[in-house]
Structure 1
């Protein structure tokens, strides 16, 4: 990419993303360019779902396919099934260095799977079942999982309408921060460094192979 074009893009992105330094934004843009394998205009292309899930797995230690898919949707703001360069940097700014409030909104967006703004009993059931399956090879009975759903609603459904609104989620998490990822991992592992190291490119190798 021409350096002048790159500088212009970095400047544009830095106007909306304040948690990364300009040199870090440039690094993320270059990494994006490597992942989408283009020497042309990167504003006309994007990272596909499979490549992005490899990144979540290889760099951020995520293993839950269902939630990785939902994280992809949370990044993909224009719903075109590709993460463009601005969505890439903006999403990572929340993912890695977001404020507590930004991460709260992000996790809630990942968890309400059908896009209606509420986490339903059915969604809670499916996420808990999926999460428990990830943690153990033994499959929990539907009755045991339903008991967990009922306990979760009792703890988080403050208005007793049988589903969790953002207001419910926010209140519960502010009272007990461990509930932020109550339905499964949708943020990086704690051990992931919040800087942008050169080793990211190496860790993305698997994603690049998938993209080929």
Structure 2
């Protein structure tokens, strides 16, 4: 890739990102310049992503949680986050509709990607989250451990009590009781 090509976003990608993200051309161009400057290879590796998360959560161990978020952002499952994937993630997390954010959160919790969140998957994410946060926050007794938090979420969301959450149960649960969002607290 020539130097000029690597510093300028391709018109086709720009057009696609304008439609997908809702950002202006100027905003996308600025994001692209910063992304390219920080990651000249035009993608973000899981190692780099973990470093990013470690900067945001210096008092805990964010490695495992960062892996789960990385997996969710890596839309084509190639082991990297390219600029397009990065912008889609930024768009949803910063200005996406509630349902988009909930779909993304669901995908983080659905570790194996089978369309359901099991107790074990949710517990895995909460364990990773608690390690990441370390002792930086004080928690109510009913959610003081990953196990307690998992049980509380399932009690409130698993309407048919089958031990797994569908996307619909997940979204409906949050819509019916917005306090659940605090229990899930992903972003």
Question: Could you state the TM-score of these two structures normalised by the residue count of structure 2?
Answer: 0.77
**What SS does structure 2 have at the residue aligned with 1:105?**
helix
Q: Distance in 1 between matches of 2:79 and 2:106?
A: 20
Question: Could you state the TM-score of these two structures normalised by the residue count of structure 1?
Answer: 0.69
Is 1:32 the equivalent of 2:35? yes
Give unpaired runs (5+ residues) of structure 2. 137-144
Candidates 115, 118, 123, aligned match of 1:117: 115
**What SS does structure 2 have at the residue aligned with 1:91?**
helix
Q: Which runs of 4+ in 1 moved over 6 A?
A: none
Q: Distance in 2 between matches of 1:86 and 1:70?
A: 19
Q: Distance in 2 between matches of 1:131 and 1:9?
A: 37
Is 1:162 the equivalent of 2:163? yes
Given the superposition, is the C-alpha separation of residues 103 and 11 from structure 1 closer, same or farther in structure 2, using an over 3 Å criterion? same
Q: Distance in 2 between matches of 1:155 and 1:180?
A: 11
Q: Distance in 2 between matches of 1:57 and 1:21?
A: 30
Please give the root-mean-square deviation of Cα atoms over the aligned residues, in Å: 2.8
Q: 8 Å contact 2:153–2:180 — kept in the other structure?
A: no
For these two proteins, the number of residue pairs brought into alignment is: 173
Residue correspondence of structure 1 range 183-194 to structure 2 within 5 A: 183-185=184-186, 187=187
Q: 8 Å contact 2:65–2:128 — kept in the other structure?
A: no
Q: Distance in 1 between matches of 2:86 and 2:154?
A: 34
Q: 8 Å contact 2:159–2:169 — kept in the other structure?
A: yes
Candidates 2, 5, 11, aligned match of 2:4: 2
Residue correspondence of structure 1 range 172-183 to structure 2 within 5 A: 172-180=173-181, 182-183=183-184
Q: 8 Å contact 1:46–1:84 — kept in the other structure?
A: yes
Residue correspondence of structure 1 range 1-212 to structure 2 within 5 A: 2=4, 5-6=8-9, 8=11, 11-38=14-41, 45-58=42-55, 61-62=56-57, 64-133=62-131, 134-136=133-135, 146-180=147-181, 182-185=183-186, 187=187
- Post-superposition shift, 1:20? 1.1
Q: Distance in 2 between matches of 1:132 and 1:6?
A: 38
Given the superposition, is the C-alpha separation of residues 159 and 11 from structure 1 closer, same or farther in structure 2, using an over 3 Å criterion? same
- Post-superposition shift, 1:119? 1.0
Q: Distance in 1 between matches of 2:170 and 2:155?
A: 12
- Post-superposition shift, 1:173? 0.6
**What SS does structure 2 have at the residue aligned with 1:47?**
strand
Given the superposition, is the C-alpha separation of residues 80 and 156 from structure 1 closer, same or farther in structure 2, using an over 3 Å criterion? same
Give unpaired runs (5+ residues) of structure 1. 39-44, 138-143, 188-212
